[in-house]
Structures are given as C-alpha cells and as structure tokens.
Chain A
Amino acid sequence: MSTEERNPDLVLDQILSEIRDEPIDPAVLESAAARVRTGLGQAAGVSLRVCADYRNLIPAWLDGSLPEARRLLVEDHTRECPACRKAFQAARAPKPVAIAAPKRSAFRERWAAWAMAAALLLAAGLGGLWLWNRYGGVPEGTRATLQTVDGTLVRAAADAPPVAPGAAFGERETFRTAKGSTAVVRLRDGSLVELAERTELSVSERREGATINLAGGRIIVQAAKQRSRHLYVATEDCTVSVTGTVFSVNHGVKGSRVAVIEGEVRVTQGNQTKVLRPGEQTSTSADLEPVAVRDEFAWSRNADTYFALLKEFSVLRGKLEAIPAPGLRYSSRLLDFVPEGTVFYAAVPNFGPNLAEGHRLFREQIQQSAVLRQWWKAQTKPGGGEPPLEEMIARLRSFSDYLGREIVLASAPNAKGEHQTPLVMAEVARGGFRAFLETEMAKTKGGAPVAIVEDAAQLPLSAGNGKRLFVLLRSGVVAASIDPAQLRKAAALIDRPGSGAFSKSPFRARIEEAYRAGAGWLFSADLQPMLAARRADETLRRAGVEGPRYLVVERKEVAGKTTNSAALTFAGARNGIASWLASPAPNRALDFVSPEASFAVGAVAKAPAQMLDDLMAMFSASNRDLPSRLHGFETLTGVGLRTDLAARLGGEMAFAVDGPLLPKPSWKLVLEVSDPAGLQAAIEKLTAVAGGQLRMEKLLVGGQTFYSLRGPQAGQEAHYVFSNGFLVAAPDRTLLTRALEVRQSGDSLPRSAKFIALLPRDSHVNFSGVLYYNAGAAGEVLSGLLPGGEKLSPEQRRAAATFAATPAAVVAYGEGDRIRVAAAGSGLFGWQPEHLLLAPKFRHPK
C-alpha cells in the first residue's frame, strides 16, 4: 500500500481552500432565498412569542387553514421545542390532513415526503401501523398461552373473569395472578414463564424477539434456546436480555431483582449492562438487598430438588474439609531401606483415620437429610448394599492403625529393564501386627496367599507363580512384595541402614530435598534410565528434552490450603526448549486481560531472538537446507526473521479469551515489543509481499493507531495496536479498546482478588507462567462437549457445569535447574462431593 508522506498542514490548508472556493450557483442561492423570503414576509406580521401562542394555532394547523407564514413558524418552533412538538402530535386526529399542500414550492421535497408518509399512515387509522412499518413486520398470533394455573389468573381489564388453561393472550395483553395463585405461561418460542402471586405482565413480540413486560411481581423464566432471536424481560427500570437460561425477575416498587440459576443473562439499566452467571444476581436499586439465589426460587412450586441436593453436598463438603489432613513429614526412615536401582519412589500419608472420619460424617449426613438418603438409595442397588462398604472401611481403619505416618512404594526395573511390582514399606507403630495380619488372613475365604516372615532367610529364592505376597516384619518395619529378591535386598538394608548404593545416589538426594520442604503425597521418578534409550535423537537433545532427570509430583496441605505441584529437574542449567521459560518475574502482558476472562495463559520467556536460535538449531540438525531456505525467504521479503521480528519482541506474553465466546471467541494476544515502529515496518513489508492475500489498514482514532489485517475472505481479520511497549491483537477493534481500557484502569486479572486467591501458596512472589480458566456459564456448554457428554442426565450435566465452572489457576516457575508447575487444590484429595453426581451409578464391590 502506498503511503503519502504529505505535510499535514498542507493537506489541511488544501482542503480548507477547496471548501472556501467551492462555487455556489447563484441561481440555487436565489431560489432558496426566494422560498425563505416568501415565508418570512408573511411571518413578519405575526406575534408568536410563547408556546401558548403556538398552541393556539393547533386547531387551524390541524385543518390546514394556517397561513403559510405561520405554518413555517410553527414548523420551526416545534423543531426546537419538544413540549410543543408533543402537543401538536398528540392533537393529530386520525384522518388525512392535507399537509402535503400542492404548494410544494414552499417545502423542500424532504418535508413533503415526510408529510405524505405521515398522512398515509394516519389515514390507515392506527398508530400501531406506523410501528409496523418501522419494525418491519410483526408475527401474527398469540403471544402466550396459559399452561397451568394454581388459583386464579385474570386478564387485566377490570373485573374480567378467571382464565382457564389453554387460554391465549395477544400482543401486549396484560394479565395477572391473584393473591395466593401461581401460574405457568408458555410463549410462542417454547419458553416457560412461571408467575408468582399478584404478578402482572404482558408479552409483546417483534421480528427480533419477544419481550415480557413485567409490570410487577415475580417470575421465573425458563427460556427456550434463542437462536437468532432474543428474549427480553422489561421492567420499568431495567431490561434483561436472555439466551437460553433459567432466571428470575422480581419487580416491585423498590426496583427489580434478577437472579440466575442457569445460563447467562444481561441486565441493562439505563446505560449500564451487567452480565449475570449462575448463582449471581443483581438489583436495580441499592434499597433492594440481595437475597440468596435459592430463596428467590423458594416460592416456586417446582423448586428444583437439584438445589436441595446441592446444598446437602456443600454442607458435607464443609465438614470433610474440616478434617485436618495428616501433617507434613520432614524426613523418612524408610528412605534408608530403598533398594539400589529404584527409579520410582512414592510416599503416601497414612490416611486411615481420615477415611474413617469421612465415612462417619457421610453416614451422619445421610441420617439427617432425607434428600441425600433418597439419592443414595437411588445410587446403590438394593440388596447389594451398604454392609460391604462399612466393613471394608472398618478393616482399612484398623489396618492403618498399626502403621506409621507414611506408606512407601519403591520400584526398580529388573535386569531386562522391565518394571517390577513395587516394594511396599511402612513403619510398624504398634505391637501385635503379626497377629492382626494372621487374623485377617484367616477371615478371607480359602486363605490369603500371603507369607509372613521375620527373617529374610526364610524367603524362597524365586517368586514362584507370582501370586503370593511376601511380607517381612523386622525391626519395626513391614515390607511387602511379590518378589522375594526385592525383599531380600530390603532386609539387608533394614539390618544395615544406609549401606546400599541408593543412599548415595543423586535421586535419593532429590527425594530428601522434597522431604525437607515438607512432604504430603509424594511421587518421584528418575527419568534418566528411561530417556537414556532416546539419547541418540539429536533433535530431542537440542530441544533440551534429554536434559530432565527427575520428576517430582506432590500434593500437600499447608495451613488449610492444598497445593499440587510437579517439578521437573534437569541435569544442569536448562537448555534448549526447557530454557524458554524465564525466571519468575512480573508479567505486564496480563495487565491487558480483564478479571472476567474465561481463559488466560501468560508466560515470561527468555528473549524471543534466542528462542528462535534454539528452534533453528533444533531443526537444522534434521533439515540441512533450512538455513539457506530461510535466507532466501528473508531476501525475498526484505524481512529478517531474527533481526526484524524476533529481536523486536520482548519476553512477556499473554493469550486470553476475554469476552463472549459465541458467535466468535473473543481472543486476545499480547506480546511485549521493544521496537514497535520497527516491528510495524517489518509487518508491512510482509503484508506487501503477501499481495492480494493480505490487506493492511490503519485507522487513527483519538490519537491511537489501530491496524487491521484482513484475509481474502470475509471474517478473516485481526486487529492490533501498540500500547505501552506491547502489541495487543484481537479479532475486532472493540475488544482492543476494551483491552486498553483494562490496562488503563488497573482493574486487570493479575490484580483481581479472586485470581490471587487461586494461586498456590508458596514463597514465590511472581511466577514465570500461568494458565487460568474460569469457564463460568460456558461450563454447561463445555460439559456437553465431554466424550459421552450426551449420556449425562440433566443432574449430572449441571454438576459437570459446576465443576467446569470452578475457576482454577496453574502456575509455572522456571528455576535454575528445574521447572515447577503448581496449582491450588481443594476438597478431600481434590475430590468434592459434587463429583459424585458425575460418577456413573455407584456399584458396591461384591
């Protein structure tokens, strides 16, 4: 595209002089003057000073006997004076008024056309017809049909008789429920409106959708799916716009209150619009206090039992969360007994007491709540029943009583490199364990295939058929495995702790490091042996993937807050792709993301130019001609990939979906830019080379230049803008403006309290990367997309929506020799009772 570098002053002056020099045809001027003069000449004799004077003219104006001059003055006055304009319009009788006088010359064509149209429309005799033409066709027929009524529903006309189900209401026909009555009305599109007592409303419909005009009272709307139409609920002071949801509107003297159960609703009051999600509500007046969403629905005869259930679950969840988790462990005696060559080590806290307590609470809650009891009955097959579950838990409980604070699993590959079954170990905290085990084994039918020994010498040499479990009890430690060889190694270590090769290995050191920081649930793996096989792959090596040595995944609870984390430790300083994540630092790209974003990912990376170098190094190994092809591309376009593009970018970046998801997702991309002008020049060069495929446009609005790139087809477009050292891109300009506003106001995602609350608790002030999602109402949509989602019952679907709607944030830290990813968790090991609703019907083990 050509850019004319013209001096703005010259341009401006040029246009100004063109305007000044525009010729005015004298004939045109004089004929205009003549028309005006005629009117004035007659108006001169008139004294019309105040509105009353004008209104005195209404009768004459109506029957067309007003002299030209006065009519002119009336026209002029009513244009300026709204009160008189209304007075004149109100006085218009529904019969043709010969305003369109043949003396066309006294009017301009425009006025004549208006007057003609007004006369025609009035001649039809109905103000409503004018509305018809303006809004382009209103559907025929009933607006609403009465489905059921519990009590009395009448049309608003005074003393109308009660209306029976099946009755139809027309456009704007008002009806209301009597005291103590409720009713359900069905709209043309299938939406259901439930009316509480003393509720009055009417329904009007236009091409673009239907409106429920709520004069007073309370309604609950179950809106049918609105494809291209809208459903509105209008009260005196606000308008609620709806797309497929369940919500309630309560309108009274003090204002309106809107509460949402399902879906998303927009409430417009004056010039402010609010979006409400499930569980949220708003009132139009400060005098109207918010009320628990449940209570807004409490009056409904069909109050959804789902809510009752949900409430029970949240109570249960509260109680479960109150159970303190087993404390953190800072060292482990069992580490000393881990055999050489172990590549996998896991330590889980002994949570027997917690499990028992949880079960106890569950039973207690079932006793107290009929709803829960009913649900539980429906879940478990009759006769299949509870006793086995109870028993199982009791046994587990007593078993765990004998053990120490943790249970350890260690696994090492055998000579062939295959993994073996884990060696399980625990400390024995109480005497009489052997006797207990033997009793338990006796209870099992047919005798359990378990062999208990206290001396390794008693172990057979081989595993036999692999079905026997060998248990060693020695020196206050219990170790079990199906492989006696493993046990033997363990026994040797139990006798002489710290003697094995494992005690000195770096893997053990890494595990100890995890303990020192406090261990809850700990899983760690030594990746070297696994990756050794793939060492030969050059690409991987250059990708830095060869580097990782240990993976440690943990879950722990600190002061009531649960954190899940995974850390990947490398052999030395990270290199290749692994090094792309920079050290924790503030990420200002996230400042362009609003707290209402449904999805956001942000990262602080190392310099993009270096990342490009890494990529080049990685791929050059396999594609030898890559450098020369790249060079060719750069010569052709005049744009150096590294020098003109990558070098001009900084390391802070963010991508978010921030705004409506339909019809197009409102994405935005934010990149740190060190040289905006240079980058823009490079982009322009690339666009020029792309020829017809890509078009760039610029728009200057309020001192900010907005760029847009459009592809050949409609809808393929992206807009971007440079602001404060960042490039911000989005599908349209409104989103860009919004992003700039977010940053300007400081009310952005990283500063919002709810985001900060989601971050895991640890010693870091900043993070290197973050992934955040808060699907909100979209959770329902997303749950439908789950595999097998169609098979979910509505209850399960809603539970899934709640689950998906829970906001979550996962955070990454790029530390010197490792990358750590962490997320806050909750519930009993991350499980919340609501998840039960998701599970297929619960079957008891036989």
Chain B
Amino acid sequence: MSATASSTVVDPAAGIESVFREHHQRVFRAAYRITGNATDAEDVLQSVFLRLLGRRPDAAPVINLACYLHRAAVNAALDLVRIRQHSLDLPADYAGPAPRRDPRESRLLLRQAIARLSPKAAEIFVLRYFEGYDNPEIAQMLGLSVSDVAVTLHRSRARLKEEICHEH
C-alpha cells in the first residue's frame, strides 16, 4: 500500500472536524499496528489530534498533512510502547516462553524490539514496513538521504533479526 501525498497548506485548527474525518482511520491503523491493541491506539489518536489542535499559531505551516499525521501517529505510538516497556519486567529477566512460540507473542516481542531501536531508526522502520512508504519517500519526509535511509533500515533489520531469533 502506498500513501498518497496531498500538498495543501492547511491551518489545522480551522476545520479540525474535516481533517479528523479524512485522516482518523489512517492514524488509528498506524497506531494499532505499532501498539498492537485498540486502547493504546485510541490513546494515540487522541494525542495526535489534540496536539494538532494545540499547535501555536506561529508554528511552521504543515505542508503535507497526511505525512505529518502519519509520522505523528508513528512516533506517539512508539513512545507509548517504550513507556509501557519500562513499567513492566521484561526481556532482561525474561525466563523464556514455551518451546513453540505463540504468534501473538512474537508480534509483541517484535513490537517491543522495534521500540527499543533508536527513535529515528524505529520511525524509519515503521514507515517502511508498516506504513508502506518507499525509501525515497521516507528520505524526503525525514529530510535524509536515500542511502542513509537504506543503511539505517539494513541495520535495524539485522538487529531485529538477532533479537527475535533466539530459540528456547
């Protein structure tokens, strides 16, 4: 799936209702993919739009609303996963699950592993593998070079492979 980019300069506060109508599904879905549950996704949905609302009038204009919201959703969701990890006793003392891995568990572990990447690497990874942007698009969204994106992705993959591929 690829995202369409609409380039209109928009004042988010005016007509928040229509912005919400147009983009809420995408934000919710992106948050759901990262957090894995609807409660957290709703949390992210609210945060993203409230912040949009709360933006100061003199802040830089949003050029590409879809991308902006997408990234905001991704980052807010990653933050939430990180916070959740800190408050639980997790993999450091993880005693090991049953021999046959439960697929739900694998997904949870991967989500947590992604959140443990550096914020930028995590965002790039999610934009690529969950949201379906391709490397040039990501490079443009984040203001990086395409090769930077590619290298970061490669490293992230390597690290994630290592983390999820231990056997019990």
Contacts and interface: CB of A to CB of B under 8 A. Distances in A.
B54 A49 contact: yes
A108 interface: yes
A44 B129 contact: no
Given A12-B160, A44-B16, A701-B92, A20 B33 contact: yes
A32 B54 contact: no
A703 B162 contact: yes
Interface string B59-96: 00000000000000000000000000000000110111
A698 B162 CA distance: 13
B53 A43 contact: yes
A4 B167 contact: yes
Interface string A17-42: 01110101100110011011101110
A9 B161 CA distance: 7
Contacts of A48: 54
A35 B54 contact: no
Contacts of A559: none
B17 A41 contact: yes
Interface stretch (B2-10, B38-46, B136-144, B145-153): B38-46
Given A49-B54, A697-B96, A24 B32 contact: yes
B99 A18 contact: no
A44 B107 contact: no
B56 A49 contact: yes
A28 B91 CA distance: 30
Nearest to B1: A20
A8 B161 contact: yes
A194 B33 CA distance: 61
Given A12-B160, A37-B20, A29 B46 contact: no
Contacts of A6: 165
Contacts of B164: 8, 11-12, 15
A1 B99 contact: yes
B50 A40 contact: yes
B133 interface: no
B110 A19 contact: yes
B50 A76 contact: yes
A32 B53 contact: no
A41 B47 CA distance: 14
A616 B30 CA distance: 67
A699 B166 contact: yes
Given A15-B107, A19-B111, A22-B33, A73 B165 contact: no
A351 to B, nearest CB: 61
B94 A15 contact: no
Interface in A315-371: none
A710 to B, nearest CB: 10
B136 to A, nearest CB: 20
A540 interface: no
A2 interface: yes
A50 to B, nearest CB: 9
Contacts of A22: 32-33, 36, 107
A738 B24 CA distance: 49
A633 B10 CA distance: 79
B49 A36 contact: yes
Interface in B85-133: 91-92, 94-96, 99, 103, 106-107, 110-111, 129-130
Contact of A44 (B13, B51, B167): B13
A23 to B, nearest CB: 10
A287 B123 CA distance: 46
Contacts of A25: 38
A73 B50 contact: yes
Most chain-A Cβ atoms within 10 A of its Cβ — which of B20, B29, B53, B130? B53
Interface in A813-827: none
A94 B107 CA distance: 44
B157 interface: yes
Task: Decide if the interface of chain B is mainly helix, strand, loop or mixed.
Answer: helix
A72 B111 contact: no
A700 B163 contact: yes
Nearest to B52: A40
A793 B111 CA distance: 63
A286 B3 CA distance: 59
B66 to A, nearest CB: 17
Q: For chain A, which range describes its interface: under 10, 10 to 19, 20 to 34, or 35 or more residues?
A: 35 or more
A698 B29 contact: no
A812 B91 CA distance: 44
Nearest to B29: A24
A629 B96 CA distance: 37
B34 to A, nearest CB: 9
A18 B110 CA distance: 11
A143 to B, nearest CB: 32
Given A32-B38, A33-B24, A697-B168, A12 B50 contact: no
Contacts of A33: 20, 24-25, 28, 45
B157 A12 contact: yes
Interface in A687-720: 697-701, 703, 705
A77 B38 CA distance: 22
Interface string A38-76: 011101100011000000000000000000000011001
B33 A108 contact: no
Contacts of B99: 1-2
Contacts of A2: 99
A108 B42 contact: yes
Nearest to B158: A8
Most chain-B Cβ atoms within 10 A of its Cβ — which of A24, A40, A110, A703? A40
Given A40-B16, A703-B162, A32 B106 contact: no
Contacts of A72: 46, 50
A3 interface: yes
A481 B60 CA distance: 109
A19 B130 contact: yes
A815 B165 CA distance: 50
A73 B55 CA distance: 12
Nearest to A706: B166
B38 A28 contact: yes
A44 B168 contact: no
B32 A11 contact: no
A429 interface: no
Nearest to A32: B42
B50 A32 contact: no
A748 B32 CA distance: 49
A571 interface: no
Nearest to A24: B32
A16 B110 contact: yes
Contact of B161 (A4, A12, A36, A73): A12
Contacts of B45: 32-33, 36
A371 to B, nearest CB: 54
B161 A40 contact: no
A703 B158 CA distance: 11
Contacts of A32: 28, 38, 41-42, 45
A287 B162 CA distance: 48
Nearest to B168: A697
Nearest to B160: A12
B115 to A, nearest CB: 13
A110 B99 CA distance: 34
B129 A73 contact: no
Given A11-B165, A76-B47, 13 more contacts: A19-B107, A24-B28, A33-B24, A33-B25, A33-B28, A36-B49, A37-B24, A39-B46, A110-B39, A698-B166, A699-B96, A700-B166, A701-B91
Top-8 shortest CB links A-B = A700-B166, A8-B161, A32-B42, A8-B165, A76-B50, A36-B46, A44-B16, A33-B24
Interface of B: 13, 16-17, 20, 24-25, 28-29, 32-33, 36, 38-39, 41-43, 45-47, 49-51, 53-54, 56-57, 91-92, 94-96, 99, 103, 106-107, 110-111, 129-130, 157, 160-168
28 contacts: A12-B160, A15-B106, A16-B110, A19-B107, A19-B130, A20-B129, A22-B36, A28-B38, A29-B28, A29-B38, A32-B38, A33-B45, A36-B24, A36-B45, A36-B46, A37-B17, A40-B49, A40-B53, A41-B16, A41-B17, A43-B53, A44-B53, A76-B47, A77-B54, A697-B95, A698-B166, A698-B167, A699-B94
